[in-house]
Amino acid sequence: MNRRKFIENSALAGSGIALVGATSCASTEQSDQQIKIESITDGIEFINAQDRTQRIEQASKLMQQHQFDAIFVESGTSLEYFTGIKWWPSERLTGVLIFSDATLKYIGPAFEKERLEEMITLPGDVASWEEHENPFQLVAQLFKDKSGATATLGIEENVRFFQSDGIASFLGQTTILNAKPITAGCRAVKTPKELALMKKANEITLEAYRIGFSKLKEGISQYELSAIVAEASTALGATEAGWAGAMFGEYTAFPHGSKTAQQLKEGDLVLIDGGCKLGGYQADITRTTIFGKPTQRQQDIWNIVKEAQTAVYEQAKAGVPCEQLDATARAIVDKHGFGNGYENFFHRVGHGIGMDFHEWEYLVKGNSTPMQPGMCFSNEPGIYIYGEFGVRLEDCFYITENGYEAFTPQSPSIENPI
* Structure confidence by residue, pLDDT tens digits, 107-161: 999 999 999 999 999 999 999 999 999 999 999 999 999 999 999 999 999 999 9
Instruction: Classify 45 as helix, strand or coil.
Output: coil
For the stretch 330-349, pLDDT in tens is: 999 999 999 788 999 999 99
pLDDT at 24 over 50: no
Task: Tell me what pLDDT residue 19 has.
Answer: 55
CB 338 within 8 Å of CB 376: no
pLDDT at 16 over 70: no
**Which of these ranges, 32-36, 192-196, 344-348, has the smallest mean pLDDT?**
32-36
pLDDT at 327 over 90: yes
Task: Tell me what pLDDT residue 339 has.
Answer: 78
Instruction: Give the span between the Cα atoms of 204 and 210, in whole angstroms.
Output: 10
Mean pLDDT of 245-260: 96
Domains present along the chain, CATH in parentheses: 3-13+191-406 (3.90.230.10), 49-187 (3.40.350.10)
Strands (E), 134-230: 152-155, 175-178
Q: Is the dihedral of CA 260, 264, 270, 275 positive or negative?
A: positive
**Amino acid present at 370:** P
Tell me phi and psi for residue 59, to 5 degrees. Answer: -60, -40
